[in-house]
Amino acid sequence: MTAERHNSMKKTFSRQSVLGAVLVPGALFAVAVPDIAYADTASVTVTTPGPTMGPATPFTGVSSHADCADGLVSGGGISQSTGDDRAGNGNHVMGIAPSADGVTEFTGSPGVVGTDATHWLAFGGSGSNSSLAFSTTPYAVCLHSSRIRHTQVVMNKAAGPSVGQTAKTVTATCPTGTLLIGGGARTTPASVGSLKPIASFPTFDDAAHDFGQKAAADGETNPDSWTAVGGIGGGRDTDNTTYAYAICSGDDVNVNNIATTVHFRELSGPDTAGTSQTATVGCDDPAQARHGRRESGVLVSGGAAASGGNVTTTDFTKAGSGGTHLTGSYPSDSDGKPVSDQATTADNWTADIHVGGSPSPNTYSDVWALCLNLNHGHAMR
């Protein structure tokens, strides 16, 4: 066979061919030829409009949104500032959640409440202390994927917490056969100054994780649920509500050979009144690599908690003070600095925990990164 004819025959085979021709003297046989594997693509862009000032008066809230002009929102975050007074108390996260239009919240009946969301809401709240310098900045993680072209939002909610110094745990679970790619948490109303989400994390709807009461641990794969924990200090109200949101792949998305991997980090503290601490973990984190647990992936979402510790091995418990709260849960660099608008290299997630006006013994800072891995296990056929 000449080189010209050989090359011509090669061009007749596409990478999706399933039959090949073999010439044998006197006969033509058709034989199966394996597909040529090719890589799927996934990337993210983080968008943020910058800070929205407020709330400037006690027992009120402020909202802001970040939007995906391209791609679908797979998760999102929030960071807050108290101005020059880093020890300032009162500014706390009131919610982080997907939205269909950047304004409307999913707060109706639990279940699948929306599809193909492209906006992320961030809510800041104030307690008895407020300042004109308070601000809230939202971050939307926008996913571009050749495989995950449709998503759906699952919401679950529960009344409470309504008794001082307690917490309410709520879990939203993805439909069977879909993939969890992110989530969020929300509490209402803002008029109850000590009410706030104190945890938002990936988990599993199974007995090993007490059906969402225990968080996904470092290295676990394919969590199917997202848990929100609402906490309250001394305030009380009979209309308090905690919401959990799970962002899942669409029902029509083939999730074979796609996986998500959880990376998790827990630090002791902060416990001194008026102090803060950040914790950061990444999809390719050097600290994890030292323990042989290095795994690359695309960061699609993350979570944060102010807890009583051991959140992956025991049911969630509150921090040592009812005033301890989140002031940040956001995509970042490895040093914990929030990424800028239109960033395409967000590989880490950071949690920012703040102690209020009272000491908070036995407090821990928890952070999760949820990392998407395409062509997991073996090549797609």
Is residue 149 helix, strand or coil?
coil
Supply the mean pLDDT for the chain.
Answer: 86
The answer to whether domain 42-373 has CATH 2.60.120.690 is yes
pLDDT digits 0-9 by tens, 333-363: 999 999 999 999 899 999 999 998 889 999 9
Residue extents of the structural domains in the chain: 3-32, 42-373
Q: How confident is the model at residue 237 (pLDDT cuts 50, 70, 90)?
A: confident
pLDDT of residue 376: 60
pLDDT of residue 281: 98
pLDDT digits 0-9 by tens, 79-135: 999 876 655 677 899 999 999 999 999 999 999 999 999 999 999 998 888 888 899
- DSSP characters over 117-137: --EEEEEEEE-S---TT-EEE
What are the residues facing 228 on neighbouring strands?
Answer: 170, 200
Is residue 70 helix, strand or coil?
coil
| AA letter at 190 | A
At 350, list the tokens.
Answer: 């950071």
Q: How far apart are CA 59 and CA 195, in angstroms?
A: 10
Q: How far apart are CA 190 and CA 168, in angstroms?
A: 16
Q: Judge whether residue 4 has pLDDT over 60.
A: no
pLDDT digits 0-9 by tens, 286-337: 554 445 444 568 999 999 999 999 999 999 999 999 889 999 999 999 999 9
Torsions phi, psi of 6, nearest 5? -60, -45
pLDDT of residue 364: 98
Q: How far apart are CA 310 and CA 316, in angstroms?
A: 8
pLDDT digits 0-9 by tens, 49-83: 999 998 889 999 999 999 999 999 999 999 999 87
Q: How confident is the model at residue 11 (pLDDT cuts 50, 70, 90)?
A: very low
